[in-house]
Structure 1
Amino acid sequence: MGPGLKTFGALGLAAAALVLAGCETPGGARGRIVQAPPACEDVTVQIYFEADSAEVTDEGRAILAQAASTAKTCKVDRVRVLGLADAVGAPAANMELSKQRVAAVTKALVANGLPSGEFDLAAAGQAGATAADGEARPLRRRADVTIELSAP
């Protein structure tokens, strides 16, 4: 290696050391970065159920846990839970199933730390579950959850 390459290599190492040293210094540029608090924006999720079931699935529990975790640093103004059912079966049975879905989702949210006094619960049964062509909509086997948040 010639003398010019040694000098260039030594300068490169020195520059890299300075850059790395700046990253490790508590009073450096990184220490001056101020992070904004997390935004307290409303969270909306949909929890899907198997046919004729009001049992929250493992995936549903994970989604609800994540939504509740997002809300922990904010003020929970209200939690809206709407239970839905598809148009397969008797209307009265579908309304009952919608109510059971609301209860199951609410229980899971409270278990994850949301304040139970802030809940607005509703069940729609199969209302609106039939398309204009008369086809039943299976994607209505769900509960719609909205957590309304504001800054603490």
Structure 2
Amino acid sequence: MLDDIDDGARVGVWTTIGIITLLLFGLIGGLALRQLHKSAAPAPAAAVATDDALIDGPLSGELAGTLFFAVGSAELPAEAAAEIAKAQAAATAAAGKKLVLSGFHDASGDPAKNAELAKNRAKAVRAALVAGGIDAARIGLRKPESTTGDGTADQARRVEIRLVD
């Protein structure tokens, strides 16, 4: 095809192909740099609230609230607003203290599933506290704990909110 045209036209065709190639490489390179910049950016404050690191320590601190959940559910119960408000007031009054959320489960059934459910319940309480204005950095999740079976069934499905130093 290029054999049939003169040298001037051939240079024009190759110049056009070169310019189009450079534009495509520039566009692809720009998109790659933008993606790298997005992945290297620090996490926003809301992402910090989803930190699932678990505290493994003794149950201590002043009890600021207790929420009881339905069987097999991590959804906040209807009466949760009062306990959340009570815990928020206690946290506001004790600005130097942190909140530790402890999820409990019973010993029946699959221990791994029960522990995950207790953790999800604590995360639901954390989300409600953060939505109510408590700084997520002040809230920690304690490792889920199995109840010993000496309390009521409700006691096995609870999340305790404690103020700790």
TM-score of the two chains, using structure 1 as the length reference = 0.59
Matched AA of 2:125: V
Give the SS at the match of 2:65: strand
Q: 2:134 aligns with which of 99, 114, 119?
A: 114
The residue number in structure 2 matching 1:80 is 100
Match of 1:144 in 2: 160
Please give the alpha-carbon distance, in whole angstroms, between the structure 2 residues aligned to 1:93 and 1:51.
Answer: 13
Percent of aligned pairs with the same amino acid: 29
Q: Which residue, out of 114, 138, 152, partners 1:94?
A: 114
Cα RMSD over matched residues? Answer: 2.4
How many residue pairs match? The answer is: 104
Q: How far apart are residue 43 of structure 1 and its match?
A: 4.9
- CA distance in structure 1 between the partners assigned to 2:135 and 2:87 by the alignment: 13
- Report deviation, 1:78: 0.7
Distance 1:128 1:43, change over 3 A: closer
SS at match of 2:71: coil
Cα distance in 1 for residues equivalent to 2:152 and 2:112: 17
TM-score by length of structure 2 reads: 0.55
Structure 2 unpaired stretches of 5+: 1-61
Change over 3 Å in CA distance of 1:43–1:144 after alignment to 2:
closer
Structure 1 stretches lacking a partner, 5+ long? 1-41
Q: Secondary structure at the match of 2:73?
A: coil
Structure 1 or 2: larger helix share? Answer: 2
